[in-house]
Homo-oligomer: A and B are copies of this chain.
Amino acid sequence: MINYQDFFAERAQLMQASDIREAFKLTENADIISFAGGFPSAEYFPVQEVEEIVSELLASSPGIALQYGPTEGIAELRCQVAELMSSKGVRCSGDQVLITSGSQQALDLIGRVFLNPGDLVLMETPGYIGALGALKAYQPIFEGVPLDEDGLRVDVLAQRLEELASEGKSPKLLYTVATFHNPTGVTMSMERRRHLVRLAEKYRFLIVEDNPYEEIFFEGEPVSSIKSLDTSGLVIYLGSFSKIFLPGLRVGWVTAERSMVEKLAIAKQSMDLCGSTLGQKIVSTAIKRGFFSRHIPALRFSYRKKRDVMLTSLERFAPEGVVWTRPQGGFFVWLTLPERMDAKVILSEAIHKKVAYVCGSGFHLDGGGHNTIRLAFSQNTEEQIREGVRRLCLVLKENLGGREVGVARAV
């Protein structure tokens, strides 16, 4: 008998399916109200529009829409994205845009192009573990930076950078979901963004700003992107059409300095030759039709209602001692239970009661967060959210018993 494991590379021996991935599987059980997956809601998919666009594309340019395309992405879409970025204060041209298969591929590319083994990567903790997974393949050292209601603790970062500098070290890059953070839902303040950019300039590291939720805001315009404050070219911006349009097309992008985009494109060529041209053409046509200016406001309205239902349900049902964030946009609410409670233990009870979530510990670099929970409100109906939160809070109440609870912070 051959043991096929023997053929695996060292890095593959360490690869394991993520907690979130496992939690997603629960969504397959129709009985369970799952707050696990942060998927956009399929009820908002513009089916009619897509059908019209595909008909139009197949009538006008099937030889482009269905053929291999440029590795960098189709030129038209690159220019459209550059315009979009420019309208949000990031002046750039099409050759500063690389189209990727969602932001996840962008993360993999960034690891490949920028990370040597042993390079230091900083990220929020709790933070988006998909980024960790992608960058991990390139064997950097990760270090977490805490966050609070105003996002990444840039003051803590500044201290740590000074310490590192005194040892002659500096990070290669810092990864952040600054706006409507995954998993906590918080947003980095403008003051901290400015400070962060100054720190990157001072200590010469790259900022990778992953910004998939920016357009899904609920209370007036969100603060400007970090990239819009960047005059040194140290910020690499990741955008995505997955949350504001259709994840199944796999269209995201990178905006960065031209020389970086060129190198990322060369790396991308050996990864997949090119992304889905059909997907890119659908997005490009939707932009040309002015579809997003109608669609995105409707999305904001709908997701806000869901958030509101989740927050009011929590207020109504949550036992004392449980606290949570109040996101101004995005898909997630973050729950913190009293210290002595374990979200993993409670999860099996919750599933028994037909409600599911992702344990917050999976988002922590340092093994912390045992008493935290990520709830996504994006995919369920308002009725499901109400009922799901009720079920969850029942389980939490049972676990709390009549015992005394401490005071906790929401993040």
Contacts and interface: CB of A to CB of B under 8 A. Distances in A.
Interface of A: 2, 4-5, 7-12, 15-18, 21, 37, 39-40, 42-43, 45, 47, 50-51, 54-55, 58, 62-63, 65-69, 71, 101-102, 104-105, 107-108, 112-116, 119, 130, 133-134, 136-138, 172, 204, 206, 232-234, 242, 246-250, 257, 259-260, 263, 266-267, 269-279
A135 to B, nearest CB: 8
8 A-B pairs with least C-beta separation? A42-B63, A248-B277, A133-B270, A66-B248, A47-B62, A66-B246, A134-B270, A12-B113
A276 B249 contact: yes
B67 A42 contact: yes
Contact of A206 (B7, B119, B250, B263): B7
Nearest to A131: B270
A66 B39 contact: no
Contact of A108 (B16, B138, B271): B271
A395 B271 CA distance: 36
A128 to B, nearest CB: 12
9 contacts: A9-B119, A42-B66, A47-B66, A101-B275, A104-B271, A105-B272, A134-B271, A248-B277, A278-B278
Given A9-B112, A276-B276, A50 B71 contact: no
A104 B67 contact: no
A130 B273 contact: yes
Given A114-B9, A275-B250, A15 B263 contact: yes
Contacts of A279: 276, 278-279
A12 B45 contact: no
Nearest to A53: B54
Contacts of A54: 51, 54
A233 to B, nearest CB: 6
A45 B21 contact: no
Chain B CB count within 10 A is highest, among A67, A248, A250, A273, for A248
A273 B259 CA distance: 27
Contact of A137 (B40, B112, B172): B112
A169 to B, nearest CB: 15
A172 B7 contact: yes
B62 A104 contact: no
Given A267-B15, A278-B248, A51 B47 contact: no
Contacts of A102: 272-273
Contacts of A248: 65-69, 276-278
A274 B250 CA distance: 8
Given A8-B263, A40-B67, A246-B278, 10 more contacts: A2-B232, A10-B116, A12-B113, A18-B269, A42-B63, A67-B248, A69-B248, A108-B271, A247-B277, A278-B278
